[in-house]
Chains A and B, each alone.
Chain A
Amino acid sequence: MPGNCSPVSLPLATRLTRLLARLVLYAVLWSVLAGLDGRSWIIGLPAVSAAACCSLFFAPQRLCPLSPLGLLRFIPFFLNLSFWGGCDVMRRALSPVMPLNPGLVRYQVSLPEAPQQVLLLNCISLLPGTISADFSGQCLTIHTIDRDMPVWSTVHLLERRVAAVFGLRLAGGAP
């Protein structure tokens, strides 16, 4: 939950680094939004610092470092899957007989931290044939549009990829 933990207990150096990283990130974002006009920083500077402070305030206490290589490999994987997700829905919606066979599937998530889980949950909703419907404890309820699809193996593959984004290796195996 955001805000439940205040970042007070972290050492000062870590907090400063995190603040600095956020300042740089939001400054880049501001220059994307407002262009390279120097005068825009009259508003930009307060906005960037407010956004950075707000973001730091809500940041989770434990760090979840990203792995750049994993992220780079995740993007094409995700784009490909979400494209096929769109095509799949288009086929079902336009076909006269509407091949639907929906149902609920449960899946045990082994990702440990909230940001990773949320990334998984959000990506599942864009995959072909699945949306994440509920999540409590480590148990994920998935609504699938076609029960004959290999839901479990797709989600498992996605989970390993998400873990790779955060530089983790999951112990893979059968359910």
Chain B
Amino acid sequence: MMDAMGIFDMVLALALPWLGWRLLASPDLFRAMVLFISLGLLMALTWVRLQAPDVALAEAAIGAGLTGALFLSALRRLERLSEAERRLAFAGKREEEDEIPPERHRRAKPVAYGLALLLLAVFVLLLAWSLAQTPAGGGLGPAVGEQLGQSGVRSEVTAVLLNFRGYDTLLEVMVLFLAALGVWSLTRVRLPLQDEEPGPVLATLVRLLAPLMIMVAGYLVWIGGSRAGGAFQGGAVLAAAGVLLLLANVTVVRQIPAALLRWGLALGPLLFLLTAVVCVAAGGNLLEYPPQRAGAWILLIESASAVSIGVTLAALYAGGRPPEPPAQDRGGEQGPGRDADADAGGRQ
């Protein structure tokens, strides 16, 4: 047992921190981000080794793919900005001395370093303490296994996510929604995200892949009931389709009405919340489904959340609220604020 797979485990476990170190130490930010994406893929491999296929799927799609895309687009945006700034400086404007002086920087270093070490030591102690506190042979695995029959699904992780600890997932969907609200209230997206023409290959690729991605997202949501998969993975695939459409500079994307986007964003959280309230009203606890219908409820919530997660993640990638429609006048501008307020009010 300890032969081939053990060596593989060891190499993998060593590669992760090494890659993390290289990533933070590399002077070039672009290289750091590429290393970050490869670290995410190695993490996905690690999840498979640790028998967590659900997490592996989510990590590969969200942790490596989508986060990497977010970082790369942010870097691109910053570089474009600083490029403009540099041109401005060369045009004759004297640049101000607003850099932190190196002395102060250096003086701050030992303090920061000491603080980091202290925090780390505290954390290690806490971790060791909590590991020692864990009861032997414990864990919630047997308990979940016992109750799995009445959860309505056959996959343990989905049962925990949407039935036993459904309120966690409810809150988490809300966090995602809040993040989208935050980004939307901060800036307005500037399309196109790419400067240059996408070219025929990318256009055809998008045309081919976008419907297939919708199919795969549906499949992931369906298979989540019995095996690895679920709303997050399906939503991530939908978001990837959205990112592809944004990158390919498809005109249709710009013509999607903002109201539709807003409803897509709110669909999952609203339905989830509604279910929770209905469950309470029917005399149960929060998100305590009727046992016979649990499977149907979970499937409904999962599909709605998958759509919402997809729209939300794609909106986060776009990095702002939808651009103003060119033809209409200011009537559309009033809309987003009012709708967002209504949603926020509905949540409380």
Contacts and interface: CB of A to CB of B under 8 A. Distances in A.
Quick check: do A and B touch in the complex, using CB within 8 A? yes
B217 interface: yes
Given A3-B251, A42-B299, A43-B303, A118 B201 contact: yes
A80 B281 CA distance: 66
B201 A121 contact: yes
Interface string B204-239: 101100111011111101110000000000000000
A115 B204 contact: yes
Chain A interface: which size bin?
20 to 34
A123 to B, nearest CB: 12
A52 B222 CA distance: 18
A43 B222 contact: yes
B250 interface: yes
B131 to A, nearest CB: 41
Interface string A34-74: 10000010111011101110110111000000000000000
A30 B217 CA distance: 11
B200 interface: yes
Interface string B252-263: 110000000000
Interface residues of B, number: 27
A98 interface: no
A144 to B, nearest CB: 19
B42 interface: no
B203 interface: yes
Contacts of A29: 212, 215
Given A51-B214, A58-B206, A40 B252 contact: no
A33 interface: yes
A122 interface: yes
Contacts of A46: 218, 303
A51 B215 contact: yes
Contact of B215 (A26, A59, A117, A122): A26
A26 B211 contact: yes
Contact of A47 (B207, B218, B251): B218
A51 B248 CA distance: 18
B199 interface: yes
Contacts of B248: 2
17 contacts: A1-B198, A1-B203, A1-B250, A1-B251, A2-B207, A3-B252, A4-B251, A26-B215, A33-B219, A47-B219, A51-B211, A51-B212, A54-B210, A55-B207, A59-B207, A114-B204, A122-B201
Interface of A: 1-4, 22, 26, 29-30, 33-34, 40, 42-44, 46-48, 50-52, 54-55, 57-59, 114-115, 117-118, 121-122, 135
